[in-house]
Structure 1
Amino acid sequence: MNQFCIVIPNYNHTAALDEVLTQLAAYQLPIIMVDDASNDDAKAVFATLASRHSLLTLVTHQHNQGKGGAVQTGLCHAHQLGFSHAIQVDADGQHNLADVAQLLALSNANPQALISCCPIYDDSVPKHRYLARYLTHVWVWIETLSFDIVDSMCGFRVYPLAASVKLINEVKLGKRMDFDPEILVRLYWRNVPFIFLPSPVIYPANGLSHFQPLHDNVRISWLHTRLFFGMLLRSPLLLWHKIKRRYGR
Structure 2
Amino acid sequence: MAKLTPQAPMNQTLDFQPCVVIPVYNHEHAIVAVVEAVLPFHVPCILVDDGCNSACATVLDQLQQKYPEQVILLRHTHNQGKGAAVLTGFAYASKQGFTHLLQVDADGQHCVTDIARFLKRAQEHPQAIIAGYPIYDESVPKVRLYARYLTHVWVWINTLSLAIRDSMCGFRVYPVAPVIALMARHKIGVRMNFDTDILVRLYWDGLEVVNEGTRVAYPADGVSHFRVWRDNALITAMHTRLFFGMLLRLPRLLARRFK
Q: TM-score, normalised by structure 1?
A: 0.96
User: RMSD across aligned C-alpha pairs, in angstroms?
Assistant: 1.0
Query: For 1:184-203, what aligned pairs fall within 5 Å after superposition?
Result: 184-203=199-218
125, 138, 148: which is aligned to 1:110?
A: 125
Question: Which segment is superposed worse, 149-158 or 52-61?
Answer: 52-61
Partner of 1:91: 106
Equivalent residue letter for 1:137 = H
The CA deviation string for residues 85-129 of structure 1, in whole angstroms up to 9 with x for no partner, is: 010011111011111111111000100000011100111101121
What's 1:51 paired with?
65
Q: Secondary structure at the match of 1:155?
A: coil
Shift of residue 53, structure 1, vs aligned partner: 2.0
Structure 2 gap segments, 5+ residues each = 1-12
Distance of aligned partners of 1:206 and 1:22 in 2 relative to their CA distance in 1, 3 Å threshold: closer
| Match of residue 191 from structure 2 | 176
CA contact (8 A) 2:21 2:47 kept: yes
Q: Which of 4, 18, 25 is matched with 2:39 structurally?
A: 25
The Cα shift of 1:35 comes to 0.3
Describe the shift of the 1:111–1:17 C-alpha distance in structure 2 as closer, same or farther (beyond 3 A). Answer: same
Paired residues for 1:1-249 under 5 Å: 1=13, 2-54=16-68, 55-204=70-219, 207-244=222-259
SS at match of 1:26: helix
Contact 2:107 2:221 in 1 (8 A): no
* Aligned counterparts of 2:219 and 2:248: Cα–Cα separation in 1: 42
Gaps of at least 5 residues in structure 1 are 245-249
- Mean CA deviation greater in 51-60 or 102-111: 51-60
Indicate the larger mover: 70-79 or 196-205.
Answer: 196-205
Q: SS of the residue aligned with 2:41? A: coil
1:170, distance to aligned residue in structure 2 (A): 1.1
Distance in 2 between the 1:72 and 1:138 partners?
A: 26
Deviation per CA, 1:146-167: give whole Å up to 9, x if none: 0000000000010100001110
Percent of pairs with identical residues: 51
C-alpha distance after superposition, 1:172-216 (max 9, x if no partner): 111100010000100000110010111110113651110000000
Judged with a 3 Å threshold, the aligned counterparts in structure 2 of structure 1 residues 125 and 25 are, in CA distance, closer, same or farther, namely: same
Q: Secondary structure at the match of 2:116?
A: helix
CA contact (8 A) 2:28 2:55 kept: no
1:172 is paired with a residue whose SS is coil
Letter in 2 for 1:11: Y
Amino acid at match of 1:212: R
Report the secondary structure of 1:153's partner residue.
Answer: coil
Alignment check: 8 A CA contact 1:21 1:53 kept: no
Structure 1 runs (4+) greater than 2 angstroms displaced: none
